[in-house]
Structure 1
């Protein structure tokens, strides 16, 4: 929690494999996160539908931490369980595997009813906090905005309730605008707020987000999709016969150097 409490907070980019985690660590970031969306994509699966198991995600997060020696926050969807007790078991497993933080969403994995009822969502966060026993940072998240529920009042109600049951960090991806973000920050203060890149209507700088009171900035799958965009362009170049453009990037020696480093 010390990184959240300091002036300016932290930027916590999300890795998707060993080399991406090592690159982020080598760049100087002090903590990294997993991305459930990026992890699912690397496995050829769709995010948010319980397509990745809790054990798979725990193994993945443990790998990133072991390679880098950095604190790792696990983007663990709904906590990988139907009941609050299941969420508690996931939190306990995350502690055992050495994670520094874990995110619990109010999602269901069901596209026909993607957001859990208020009481259920709060109960699951409470269970996570109880299991954590301050051994791991609990980030409680509501996905209202990204699930077609643009209800700022309900979002604040949920986040406030999560804080009241002991969540360490709060998170509502893609509020519609800066005004809404500032309202969220003010409503839940002093509990730190995580922002996924920026509000939905514009991409702000780190400094601008810090001025709004944000304490943690994460990128979700954005770095992964950036890398896949470069791959797509390289594939098109190669198909057109341009091997030079298709083979730019870091060298194999650089990969070997990163993989040989001790955390």
Structure 2
């Protein structure tokens, strides 16, 4: 199977800008993959909301479990929002790179925010040393891995563009693969940052303030666009509005805008096909095949030996993977025929 880190890196080398959305659970990751996005990134804020805690308080182990669940759920490269890593020292920024690559992540972002309100940003030299250590850890890996270095000044009220650019340039020189300064207020700032750097720049959309189109950001020189926790906030916001309507008005009009069952379920159809077509699961054999007429046949036959079913039939297939795990998949004739292409 091809190195997902290499796939992720190549996306940054293409001429076109690309959007890397931020799912917050397995379901949203699958929806985004089904829609055709090429890579995914976790959101630390989205994870905090999912767990019902404040941002910045999710234990490191819980973050890792969340990241691994998304890696295991999708065939796309996944980059992790690892905030400041495992601590303050350079080694605490390097070790997460090794661990992240070990669980199959294609990249990660590391920021210069300390987590301390009274002193929110690391001193310049320490911030650079942390990225240098992370880059050295990346270079020692057997697989490719993309490091995004974040300069958090604007997120914490330090609106000094020159100092932010100096940090990004230092991160670039230290070995970061992608540069990122969330909170830039206007397109002129964004264009200036892109012009002052030679490596790809990520810009986040969905924060309060002016919103720019993909075309506008591409013209400014942006290579990658993320959405942070904005989609999470939108989803939770709609949930809150629905609950408020019930409590305050005693009505349920929100349901008129809810997506239909079949439409929403359609986004998960490819998950079943993926379980069969995923190149990580080789030499699969079909243990049982059940036609809805009630007839039952038992097989222990390589998938390649099966014939496509008759049109209109629906099949329940239990797949025995090399890991000895049984995966149930209900497939229509059209769907299972795709396996023989």
Common fold, TM-score beyond 0.5? Answer: yes
| Residues 97 and 250 of structure 1: CA distance in aligned 2, closer, same or farther (over 3 Å) | farther
The answer to whether the aligner puts 1:138 opposite 2:147 as a matched pair is yes
Q: Is the 8 A contact 2:79 2:105 kept in 1?
A: yes
Q: Is the 8 A contact 2:31 2:268 kept in 1?
A: no
Distance in 2 between the 1:175 and 1:85 partners? 29
Structure with more strand by fraction:
2
The answer to whether the aligner puts 1:12 opposite 2:37 as a matched pair is no
Q: What is the CA-CA distance between 1:243 and the residue it aligns to? A: 3.4
Q: Is the 8 A contact 1:238 1:246 kept in 2?
A: no
Q: What is the CA-CA distance between 1:228 and the residue it aligns to? A: 1.0
Q: Is the 8 A contact 1:194 1:215 kept in 2?
A: yes
Q: What is the CA-CA distance between 1:259 and the residue it aligns to? A: 5.7
The answer to whether the aligner puts 1:231 opposite 2:239 as a matched pair is yes
Q: Give 5+ residue unaligned stretches, structure 1.
A: none
Tell which structure's C-alpha radius of gyration is larger. Answer: 2
Q: What is the CA-CA distance between 1:191 and the residue it aligns to? A: 0.4
Distance in 2 between the 1:28 and 1:228 partners? 24
Q: What is the CA-CA distance between 1:244 and the residue it aligns to? A: 5.4
Q: What does residue 118 of structure 1 align with? A: 124
Cα deviation, 1:164-207, whole Å, max 9, x if unaligned, reads 0110000000212111111110111x200000117864101011
Q: Is the 8 A contact 1:178 1:199 kept in 2?
A: no
Bigger mean CA deviation after superposition, 126-135 or 148-157: 126-135
Q: What is the CA-CA distance between 1:65 and the residue it aligns to? A: 1.8
Picking from 94, 103, 112, the partner of 1:97 is 103
Bigger mean CA deviation after superposition, 133-142 or 213-222: 133-142
What SS does structure 1 have at the residue aligned with 2:148? strand
Cα deviation, 1:140-174, whole Å, max 9, x if unaligned, reads 00100010100001100000000001100000002
Q: Is the 8 A contact 1:140 1:167 kept in 2?
A: yes
Q: Is the 8 A contact 1:54 1:90 kept in 2?
A: no
Distance in 1 between the 2:81 and 2:207 partners? 19
After TM superposition, the score normalised by the length of structure 2 is 0.72
Q: What does residue 249 of structure 1 align with? A: 259
Q: Is the 8 A contact 1:181 1:199 kept in 2?
A: no
Q: Give 5+ residue unaligned stretches, structure 2.
A: 1-8, 279-341
What SS does structure 1 have at the residue aligned with 2:114? coil
Q: Is the 8 A contact 1:88 1:127 kept in 2?
A: yes
What count of residue pairs does the alignment treat as equivalent?
A: 260
CA RMSD of aligned residues (A): 1.9
Cα deviation, 1:81-105, whole Å, max 9, x if unaligned, reads 2211121111100000000010000
Picking from 49, 52, 65, the partner of 1:59 is 65
Q: Is the 8 A contact 1:106 1:142 kept in 2?
A: yes
After TM superposition, the score normalised by the length of structure 1 is 0.93
Q: Is the 8 A contact 1:198 1:204 kept in 2?
A: no
The answer to whether the aligner puts 1:82 opposite 2:91 as a matched pair is no
Distance in 2 between the 1:251 and 1:67 partners? 22
**Higher RCO structure, 1 or 2 (CA under 8 Å, sep 6+):** 1
Picking from 184, 195, 200, the partner of 2:193 is 184
Distance in 1 between the 2:164 and 2:183 partners? 11
The answer to whether the aligner puts 1:204 opposite 2:212 as a matched pair is yes
Q: What is the CA-CA distance between 1:256 and the residue it aligns to? A: 6.3
Distance in 1 between the 2:246 and 2:261 partners? 18
Q: What does residue 152 of structure 1 align with? A: 161
What SS does structure 2 have at the residue aligned with 1:73? strand
